[in-house]
Amino acid sequence: MKRVLFIDRDGTLINEAPPTYQLDSFDKLTFYPHMFEYMGLIAREFDYELVMVTNQDGMGTAAFPEDTFWPLHNLVMKSLEGEGIRFSAVHIDRTFPADKAPTRKPDTGMLTGYLNNDEYDIENSFVIGDRITVNFEHAGKLLINAALVDLEIIDSRS
């Protein structure tokens, strides 16, 4: 059975870009210090399948068009792949919090294919993210462990 790391994108791998907290222009794209180093180590040394899980509020709307999202997201993915960090899947929820969609983190609707699936060792899988309110609650609903990215610790090494 495969263990999975369900990894948040914004705030974990890349900076959440104020004021909109949406990655909607190339000048807002900033990878966190040492992220490639740590994610590369995880990808090489640990036996986990990497799965990206991200909420992208209103993606596809006039305020956040897909033609703005995809070039930046593709650059993020190619940058990760260039360092040997490959995600087997990317799950994106486009709804707003007020929509209360079952696919939006912290709910588990995006990940039903992993739950009650004999291919995956969910009990020994993890959620990695930057927010207790979303990522830890998401892990709790999946009944798995969570790891919080502490950006103050990461930034202090820079």
Amino acid at 24: D
- How far is it, in rounded angstroms, from Cα 152 to Cα 7? 19
Whether 130 contacts 154, CB under 8 Å: no
* Residue 148: CB atoms within 10 Å: 15
* Residue 111: CB atoms within 10 Å: 23
How far apart are the two ends of the chain, measured CA to CA in Å? Answer: 37
Residue 138: in which H helix or E strand, if any? helix 137-142
- How far is it, in rounded angstroms, from Cα 57 to Cα 37? 29
Active site residue 8: yes
Active site residue 57: no
SS3 70: helix
By annotation, the residues acting in catalysis are: 8, 10
